Amino acid sequence: MSSKLVVGVAGCALCLMFATAAGSVSPKPLADIIIRVTSTTPGHEVQVEGGYAYTPAGQSFHNVTERTPFELRQSAKRLMGIFGTASAESPIHVEMVTEGKKSGHGVETATGKAVTVSVDEDQGGAAIIPL
């Protein structure tokens, strides 16, 4: 994994842990999250590296090394992650679909060499940012 992605993933995990520690201990609603990653070039697969952390279930952290297209599904009250490619010819397109009691239904998309995603069901929001 490239050094920029390692730093980004570590930062996401630390932010998530601090946000969780600062929150109350009462159960919170979960959002259903689907993250789809594809190449911007139809029919062309690219290698994607990254990771994401989410709560509840402790501070779960997952490394990702996949070829496009792929999809991740998670139920969480908070999720933060970063996905990126070293491919010069094809950036990635990331689509995140969220469904939660507080956040409602949302679809966010971004395209770039790296993309960050975040969901906070407590605050009722989601964001996706190309880097």
pLDDT at residue 68 is higher than 70: yes
CA distance 50 to 68: 13
What 3-state DSSP class applies to 90?
A: coil
| CA-closest candidate to residue 79, choices 66, 92, 94, 98 | 98
Amino acid 14: pLDDT: 47
> Which amino acid is located at 131 in the chain?
L
Q: Which of 96, 92, 8 is closest to 52 using CA atoms? A: 8
Mean pLDDT of 114-130: 93
pTM for this one? Answer: 0.80
Tell me, what's the pLDDT at 4? 55
Mean of the per-residue pLDDT values of the chain: 83
Question: Percentage of residues in the chain with pLDDT exceeding 70?
Answer: 76
Domain boundaries, position 39: 3-130
Domain count for the chain: 1
